Amino acid sequence: MTSDEIQKEIRAIFGKKWNTREGRQIPEAEDIALGNDAVTLSGTVLYADMADSTGLVKGFRPWFAAEVYKAYLLGACRVIRNHGGEVTAFDGDRVMAVFLGNVKNTTAVKAALQINYLVIQTNEMLRAAYPTTAYTLHQTVGIDTSDLFVAKTGIRNANDLVWVGRAANYAAKLSALGSEGFPTYITDDVFKKIHKEAKFGGKDNTLMWEKRTWTAHEMVVHRSNWHWIF
């Protein structure tokens, strides 16, 4: 395809009226056209991201790194599904999921805490399988909630859905903070909406969250080092 032909396609995007409709469920790729077509919905986005995958790839054999990737992403996806979330994208060593419904924030947070528990168990299984390995899996989950605008990007036979909205952007950024010892970060909007069982834990009903200021975006977030056994 020539430069002129590509530019013609790009010009057709700008200024063209959008066909938008309110969604009640997670759209599939075939539900949205490649043109200026979109679904809007209110959703909570979870990003689960392995820490230092570059170090894993550089410092260990490819098959070992692949096993770690597979174990982490399999576990995260299973937990997400268990809580009614829908896996919407993979990006290397991280996975994105969307939760809908009246308790979407609580279910997303429970999923995050259970992913943390599963990582603890995965490290034990890893050491049992490879007693001499120096590798320990670390990860961070970020969660935010907002209105979302879902469109399709790409070209015919090579396209995907793009999730436009604060929740998708901030959840991804929170998962990249990589603060060892605090593997779960949520925005204040999420914290205010979660049920008590996702805020307090243990025999003493202890607050599981520590309030912090996210200086990069001048906003309040909450982090946790708790896990949820299942």
Distance CA 53, CA 139 (A): 10
Find residue 185's DSSP bridge partners. Answer: 142, 223
Determine the angle formed by the axes of helices 104-129 and 62-82, rounding to 10 degrees.
150
pTM summary value: 0.95
What distance in Å separates the CA atoms of residue 77 and residue 70, rounded to the nearest whole number? 10
**Architecture field, domain 20-224:** 2-Layer Sandwich (3.30)
Neighbours of 222 (CB within 10 A): 23
41's tokens? 């919905």
Q: How confident is the model at residue 179 (pLDDT cuts 50, 70, 90)?
A: low
Count helices and strands in the chain by DSSP H and E runs: 6, 11
Beta strand pairing status for 139-155 and 94-99? unpaired
pLDDT band at 178 (very low <50, low <70, confident <90, very high): confident
pLDDT digits (tens, 9 = 90+) for 56-86: 999 999 999 999 999 999 999 999 999 999 9
Pairing label, strands 37-50, 19-22: parallel
pLDDT digits (tens, 9 = 90+) for 92-150: 899 999 999 999 999 999 999 999 999 999 999 999 999 999 999 999 999 999 999 99
Longest dimension (CA), the chain: 67
